[in-house]
Amino acid sequence: MKIIIDYESSWQNSFLTGSNDEPVKKREFKASSKSKEAEDVKEISHNTILGILSRLIGDQRKLYQVKNNDDFYFKDMEISFQHTKHSKTWIEKAFLINKSENRPPQSSFIGVLKEDEPLFFSDYSATLWSVLDFTFEELLDFIINPKIRKIEKEVSVSHILNKVQFDIQPMEAVQFFQDKINLVKDKLTQEYKKEKPSDKRIESLHEQISRFENLANKENVVKFEKKLKDCLEVLEHLFPEESYVEKNNTIDPIRLYSAGLYVMVNELEQGGVDISKYISTRGTIKGFSKRNFNGVRDFLNPLMGNKKKTTHTPYNLTKASGQLEIILDIDLPKAMELKQMIDNAGVSSFYLGKKGLAYVSDIRLKQ
């Protein structure tokens, strides 16, 4: 017996965690990414075919529930399938909407802040956020020897976001010159170990080491690196559970700016200011840890009642159209019985995959 299925614009991607082959309490949406490639593309499988056949005879039970049941009509039936030469796939840019609660976009926000939000609209709000306006050296000076100067001006949330996202986060990582020199020396050692070291490469690395050594001895560099070292020592004492140096011995400025906010909170508290307006009951500033900015969503979503939703997420969606031939190795009486069951169920169209249109275009009792 042969059942021919025509399908149009069938979605081929998988959006949920878990598997159709096993029961799960709750299937979550998979996190989307900025990848330009189509993700989680699922080919038509034997399970897909069993799902189609079950749908055609009106059996709407979950496949994992019935595959091993004795009353499953297609149990132990020999079934195969193939695509015809007319089948084709393509990729479209789609915008997926997750309508679940408390799911704002990570990099933007929808909503209006309350005019009395103390984090931004209280006596020392401008003083707290002034940390983000420091130059990098001013920040180091403040962390080493914090001094509070009360600032009287209106706080702009947009200004805070712009400073973090467009000024601070893109800043180049900082590294001590001795670490730079050691890194180049390691490269030089590796070059010498090669079977045929490159003289040109060796000369270039020696020149780079010499240049770094000259720069490292300049007065302004020595002064800056001492200040940076002192800053790291202060932070190690204040926040011993945090690390401000990466595995490659670089320091990301955003980590020090985030720490600077907490240094400011500590100074405000020691100055007798009620800091409960600026930190949560867990001692954190919304959206900032002691070493990083956690993103717009964590920053503003709690301040707007956790009711914002994402508008859309761009996604590279794989679609397919074509013709599918399902071949069942059954005798004529069984084929006639199955055709009658399909006719009685009267399923005119159905999904093949997540979305799209699929329908039976022909049934041949004999292959």
Q: Is residue 186 part of a domain?
A: no
Rounded alpha-carbon distances, angstroms, from residue 269 to 40, 125, 277, 306, 308: 51, 13, 11, 28, 32
pLDDT on residue 115: 72
pLDDT on residue 100: 53
pLDDT on residue 289: 95
pLDDT on residue 255: 97
- For 102, left (φ over 0), alpha (ψ -120 to 50), or beta? left
pLDDT on residue 28: 62
Tell me the sheet residues that pair with 81.
Answer: 326
CA distance 42 to 318: 9
Are residues 12 and 143 part of one domain?
Answer: no
Segments in the chain below pLDDT 70: 15-39, 85, 95-113, 301-314, 367
Are residues 130 and 25 part of one domain?
Answer: no
Are residues 261 and 330 part of one domain?
Answer: no
Are residues 264 and 127 part of one domain?
Answer: yes
Choose the final residue of a domain: 292, 311, 330: 311
Count of the separate structural domains present in the chain: 2
Are residues 126 and 26 part of one domain?
Answer: no
pLDDT on residue 94: 74
Choose the final residue of a domain: 311, 328, 344: 311
pLDDT on residue 60: 82
Are residues 131 and 18 part of one domain?
Answer: no
| Predicted structure pTM score | 0.58
Are residues 162 and 74 part of one domain?
Answer: no
Are residues 232 and 165 part of one domain?
Answer: yes
**Are the CB atoms for 152 and 126 separated by under 8 Å?**
yes
Are residues 56 and 115 part of one domain?
Answer: no
Are residues 259 and 139 part of one domain?
Answer: yes
| Residue 6: domain span | 2-97+318-364
